[in-house]
Each structure stands twice: as C-alpha cells, then as structure tokens.
Amino acid sequence: MIQSAKFIGSFPKTDDCPQSELPEFAFIGRSNVGKSSLINLLTNRKELAKVSKTPGKTQMLNFFLIDENWHLVDLPGYGYAKLSKTTRAVFDKMIRYYISKREQLVTVFLLIDSSISPQKIDLEFIDWLGQNRIQFAIVFTKSDKEKALQVQKNIKNFKAKMLENWEGLPPFFLTSSEKNRGGNEIMEYIKQTKNSSQ
C-alpha cells in the first residue's frame, strides 16, 4: 500500500525534469486507455491524476513523489487523434527522448486496453521499446468492460501478435480501475524491481 503520493510538477522536457536520484516508473499508453484512472487506483487517491488532466499539462511529463522514495511519471498518451500531425510528432519525440535517455527510469508500464483487439500503434510502440532495449511491463486495462471470455481472447491475440516479432514476453498485469483490480500486483512488482535496481 502506498502511504503518500504528492504531485511534484509537470515538465515540458526531459532536461527540465527533477535532478533526483530516486528511481522512476513511467506509465504510458494511447490516449483514453485508462492511465489517469490506473494511477489513481495505484495511489489509492480519487483525484491525484486529475492534476494532469488540465489541458496543456497532459502534454507534459508529470511527476509524482510516492512514499518519499520513488517517482511515478505520467507520460503523455500517444496517437491522440485530435492533435495535428505536427503536434503529435513533437510529443512523440518528447516521450521517446525521455524513455531512451532518462537514467533514473527503471521500468515503463505500457497500458493496453483489454476490451479491444490488438492495435497496430501499440504493437509498433512495443517494437520501438524492444529495439531500444527498454525494460517494460504491460498493463491490460478495463478488464471489466467486456465479458471475461472476450478479454481473454483479446489478450491471447495481443500476445500472439507480440510473439511474431519477439522471442519472449514481458511481465503482464490485468487491471480494472472500475472494479479496483490488479493494483496490488503492480505495486508488488514495483517494490521488487526498485529494490533490485538499487
């Protein structure tokens, strides 16, 4: 269980981010995948991630200090259809720069909507993570939204798609912010990974 969670700030560039040695865990996914809801589930706060919902701030690297000993980083969603192509390219660059250059970053949690079939944009992002040797885990969100059988099918298809390009699979988590499921497993994973990275 998280004891304390505090919003630190929103930063437009990786070089502006806190000069801290604390380990970081970043969350990313397509817009509307359920990122803010998941962060609120993990931190057990109803409105913590709302801070980043203010227009403009969603486009930044949002930092939260958790239990005074690690940073949760809420990254802008990718593939947001309402943005212009140019703006999207700018955010894409910012996200990729942060992920590939930030030394404090321990693991990226990539959120995937389990209520829909595998999406090309997500698979492409995974390929990029793999090519850049970024340590990541996959969090399937919205597990309550479709029938359990359909969710299992979507996940199975997603894994099969991944295995077309990769030999192994990363850690997977299944969550529902609506039903309060899967948060503890992610917290346990963060705790273990954090300890072994220090």
| Contacted by 32, from ligand GTP, Mg ion, none: CB < 5 to 8 Å by type | ligand GTP
> Based on CB atoms, which residue is closest to ligand GTP, 23 or 29?
29
Q: Which residue do the tokens 């720069």 mark?
A: 97
Which regions of the chain does DSSP assign to beta strands (E)? 5-11, 24-29, 61-66, 70-74, 105-113, 136-141, 172-174
Distance from first CA to last CA of the chain, Å, rounded? 20
Token pair of 90 as six digits: 């700018």
Residue 39 or 66 having the CB closest to Mg ion: 39
CA distances from 119 to 1, 92, 114 (A): 32, 17, 11
CA torsion 114-167-96-186 (nearest 10°) is 50
The only residue of 119, 146, 172, 178 in contact with ligand GTP, by rule CB under 6 A: 178
| Of 2, 11, 31, 172, the one binding ligand GTP by CB under 6 A | 31
Whether the Cβ atoms of residue 1 and residue 187 lie closer than 8 Å to each other: yes
* Residue nearest to Mg ion according to CB distances in the complex: 36
Q: Which of 17, 27, 36, 70 binds ligand GTP (CB under 6 A)?
A: 36
Q: CA separation (Å) from 94 to 41, 53, 69, 149?
A: 26, 18, 25, 37
Q: Is 176 in the site for ligand GTP (CB under 6 A)?
A: yes
Which of residues 10 and 58 has its CB atom nearest to ligand GTP in the complex?
58
Q: Stretches 61-69, 129-137, 176-184, 188-196: which one binds ligand GTP (CB under 6 A)?
A: 176-184
* Minimum separation from the CB atom of position 32 to ligand GTP (A): 5
Here's the x/- map for ligand GTP, 88-117, by CB under 6 A: it reads as ------------------------------
Question: DSSP character for 75?
Answer: P
Please provide residue 30's backbone torsions phi and psi, each rounded to the nearest 5 degrees: -65, 150
Which option in ligand GTP, Mg ion, none does residue 145 bind, with CB closer than 5 to 8 A by kind? ligand GTP
The residue ranges that bind ligand GTP (CB under 6 A) are 31-37, 58, 77, 141-142, 144-145, 176-178
